[in-house]
Structure 1
Amino acid sequence: MGWWAARARASRPARGVYGGRVRGRPATLEVMRHTTAEPAGRPPSIAALTGLRAVAAVWVVLFHYRADVERLVPPARHLDPLLASGYLGVDVFFVLSGFVLAYNYGHRLDRWRPREARDFVQNRVARVWPVQVVTLHADLLYAAAVGALGVSADGHRRTPAAYVENLTMTHLWFSDRPSFNAPAWSISAEWLVYLLCPLLLLGFARVRRAGTALAGAAGLYAVMLLVFALFALPNGNVPHAGLLRVVVEFVAGVLLVRVHQQAPRGIGRAALPVAVALVLVVLLVPRSHGGGYWLAPAFALLVLLLAAGTGPLAAVLSTRWSVLWGEASYCLYMTHVLVQPLLRSVVHPLADGRGSAAGALVLVLDALVLGAVALLLRRAVEVPARGLLRARTRHAASAPRQPVGAPNG
């Protein structure tokens, strides 16, 4: 643990460290959505990765709002390749999750410690489950109101069995078909790797060299892309593609932490050119993102570069506003599809027949509503529920053990 913390301090800028100061304010902002209160010696946060979460979430939103954007503002059709590839934002989330969890917990789970593993899993539940439950029931109420319960013509499942699966965050494990709040499929996928993460970090502790870790990450992506190349369906996916993506990209993110620890800090300056190149490839080479996930390894590279904390792109993504929206990105991701019918029925008609300028104003209004809902859910549900669940966990862990058969009071 001492070596890990010392290496992290030597390679990370002081800005953004827990308990320190950021632009004159207390640095209480989290890295992504995988952070918990930790003892002194924990590696300092990497604010740029929190900001990257905001970019990934907005990209996913644009993917689902693509038809609305292009109808309201027809010139936006020139950006269609970028909007149509927004589903790749989930691949950014997956590699980020692996990287940040290994970065934050690798020193604590480098040996088998049952209590640490239990606390890790409980913290993951506290982090994702409350919002999952609230959005599940929001979707249930909406479906009941419009008569969409059951199984729809496109296979979307809103059944009692799917409800139980969503409560336990296992719905993707049993079926590739979406159920209830559709974006929550990725939460089910991540829940699987969260459960596996203590074992993954045991293996990670035995990977000592950056070259070995980099080769392992590259090999995992190569296997994933080969599977897609050989077995992809006409829609570009393979059966259980979500589980394949999350396992490969999460483990690759874990391995890249070892590369990050041994890489020169100056590599962060390459993040901006890589990001610009990614955007140009998406815009100019549509087949690069046509369901085959060929760009996924580039996102892993971008995460590695941004983790260095240097360069202009890291500076932009580390600003207070970027970090704020990165922290709210989970709630934005989980609510944007739920809010879409309301926006289409109430807000979008305001621009009918009024041209692109009116359409652009309506899209700004969309953004304000989506942002307000995300911040409200974070403030009213995510943060207090997480604190409550963790407080109960800490209380249970610190309570004296009773003899077997003793009364519970």
Structure 2
Amino acid sequence: MRQHLKEVKSLTGVRGVAAIIIAIYHFGSGIDGSSLFAGFHLTGAYLSVDAFFILSGFVLSYNYNNRFSNSLDKGDYIDFIIRRIARIYPAYIGFSAIYLSKMIVNISGDNPLRLFDFSDYVANAFMATGWGLGIHPIVGPSWSISAEMACYFIFPILLFTAQRHVRFMAFVAIGVMILAGNSGAGVNGALDIIDSRSVWPLIRAFGGFLTGFILFQIDRACRDRLTAILDGLLLSALAIGALLWILDASDLLKFVAIAMLIMGLTQDTPVARAMFGTKLVHYLGKISYSLYLCHALCIPVASRIGKILIPKIGMELAYCSTFMIYMLMIMSLASIAYPVLEVGGKKLALHLYGALTRKARRLPEAKA
């Protein structure tokens, strides 16, 4: 049986902050050159995606440690994969339909569907856009979700085998991130690795995922000793991270600061809750997946609004006005998508899976 554990609200909240940072980053830098505001962007904000990977590795280890640490049952493995698919697939398919409809209508006028062939549609349907196959994504930022999905398939095996070799796996995590950071595949920075023709995005995701697993093992082994220093670690991580961003330090050092920040949130201390566990921040964390999926959809709309506003009110005021409209759009869309596609879609998927498995169990009796 799966153990139901208490939610670490500050970890949920920091996921929401990361999603907002990505949304702001793409608003300024643009996706596919669609933004008018390329001069307004957050340098290095793409590392928020690495925060997603670390968080997923930690939270899944936290939730499934008791289930896979001592055994690797086939039924448990299938149940885990089904639950992960039910968690991310309905919203992904729902937004894929919206993005695809936009492409069919050809709002942008550049006929994006001309780039797609049959293999692209199949790979998008199976969420394989981040596996180094050179697939054109229907949902622009879906590469990271795809890469994380690949990590899900190996996660139970990792949890079962690597727990006995934690130190070795820590060195593997460090090595993987150093390799990724020195791959030369980054776009705007060493870890801004997103090329769909390369396996480096997948390696980047695995490194982050494995880092989250290591953080969980540290928390589990040293929980009592860590409690007294976590608030200091959290505040130090924020200060060090801010300094690293100001100095434009290497992405690998920033990655370490992000890992420190997440480590500082693992026990939901009063300081952690005050910063990342408030009602608003926690809500952002709950809808963070929908925020991540929908924000690229809203950027071209915001850009068109900006084109109308710039001649009338100037660049600075147009930016501020358009940014507020953009944030309102993504928050509204995500707030609708979360209960409908994420919560409702997950319930429906699990209900259908349960109905199919019950039917399959009855088939031999019917034949007899």
State how far apart, in whole Å, the 2-side matches of 1:401 and 1:165 are: 31
Opposite residue 401 of structure 1, the aligned amino acid is: R
What RMSD over aligned residues (CA atoms) do the two structures have, in Å? 2.8
State how far apart, in whole Å, the 2-side matches of 1:180 and 1:294 are: 33
Cα distance per residue 1:235-265 (max 9 Å; x no partner): 4458422111111111221122111122321
Contact kept in structure 1, 2:132 and 2:201, CA below 8 Å:
no
Instruction: Report what 2:72 is aligned to.
Output: 112
Residue 131 of structure 2 is aligned to residue 173 of structure 1 = yes
1:216 to 165, 169, 174: 169
Instruction: Report what 1:50 is aligned to.
Output: 12
Instruction: Identify if the C-alpha distance between structure 1 residues 216 and 301 changes in structure 2 by more than 3 Å, giving closer, same or farther.
Output: farther
State how far apart, in whole Å, the 2-side matches of 1:73 and 1:187 are: 25
Contact kept in structure 2, 1:217 and 1:256, CA below 8 Å:
no
Task: Compute the TM-score of the two structures, normalised by the length of structure 2.
Answer: 0.85
Instruction: Identify if the C-alpha distance between structure 1 residues 145 and 399 changes in structure 2 by more than 3 Å, giving closer, same or farther.
Output: closer
Instruction: Report what 2:148 is aligned to.
Output: 190
Contact kept in structure 1, 2:9 and 2:276, CA below 8 Å:
yes
Contact kept in structure 1, 2:230 and 2:265, CA below 8 Å:
yes
Where do 5+ consecutive residues of structure 1 fail to align?
1-37, 152-157
2:244 to 281, 286, 297: 281
Q: Percent identity?
A: 25
Opposite residue 360 of structure 1, the aligned amino acid is: C
Opposite residue 43 of structure 1, the aligned amino acid is: L
1:392 to 347, 352, 356: 352
State how far apart, in whole Å, the 2-side matches of 1:178 and 1:88 are: 22
Instruction: Report what 2:158 is aligned to.
Output: 200
State how far apart, in whole Å, the 2-side matches of 1:144 and 1:201 are: 43
State how far apart, in whole Å, the 1-side matches of 2:355 and 2:255 are: 41
Contact kept in structure 1, 2:12 and 2:286, CA below 8 Å:
yes
1:298 deviates by 2.3
User: 3-state SS of the aligned residue for 1:171?
Assistant: coil
Contact kept in structure 2, 1:335 and 1:373, CA below 8 Å:
yes
Contact kept in structure 2, 1:49 and 1:307, CA below 8 Å:
yes
Contact kept in structure 2, 1:271 and 1:311, CA below 8 Å:
no
Residue 122 of structure 2 is aligned to residue 164 of structure 1 = yes
State how far apart, in whole Å, the 2-side matches of 1:389 and 1:401 are: 18
Contact kept in structure 1, 2:18 and 2:49, CA below 8 Å:
yes
Contact kept in structure 2, 1:102 and 1:201, CA below 8 Å:
yes
User: 3-state SS of the aligned residue for 1:232?
Assistant: coil
1:134 to 85, 94, 104: 94
1:357 deviates by 3.9
State how far apart, in whole Å, the 2-side matches of 1:73 and 1:353 are: 20
User: 3-state SS of the aligned residue for 1:125?
Assistant: helix
2:324 to 343, 356, 364: 364
Residue 250 of structure 2 is aligned to residue 250 of structure 1 = no
Instruction: Report what 1:34 is aligned to.
Output: none
Instruction: Report what 2:184 is aligned to.
Output: 232
Contact kept in structure 2, 1:99 and 1:250, CA below 8 Å:
yes
Opposite residue 101 of structure 2, the aligned amino acid is: L
Instruction: Identify if the C-alpha distance between structure 1 residues 343 and 407 changes in structure 2 by more than 3 Å, giving closer, same or farther.
Output: farther
1:348 deviates by 5.5
Where do 5+ consecutive residues of structure 2 fail to align?
none
Instruction: Report what 1:124 is aligned to.
Output: 84
The worse-fitting range, judged by mean Cα deviation, of 355-364 and 393-402 is 393-402
Cα distance per residue 1:177-233 (max 9 Å; x no partner): 5422110011110111111111111124435xxxx44x633542234214532x414
What is the number of residues matched between the two proteins? 348
State how far apart, in whole Å, the 2-side matches of 1:233 and 1:57 are: 23
State how far apart, in whole Å, the 1-side matches of 2:48 and 2:61 are: 20
Instruction: Identify if the C-alpha distance between structure 1 residues 394 and 268 changes in structure 2 by more than 3 Å, giving closer, same or farther.
Output: farther
Opposite residue 165 of structure 1, the aligned amino acid is: A
User: 3-state SS of the aligned residue for 2:6?
Assistant: coil
1:93 deviates by 0.4
Equivalence map 1:10-159=2 (5 Å): 42-67=4-29, 77=40, 80=41, 83-110=42-69, 111-146=71-106, 147-151=111-115, 158-159=116-117
Opposite residue 15 of structure 2, the aligned amino acid is: R
Opposite residue 242 of structure 2, the aligned amino acid is: V
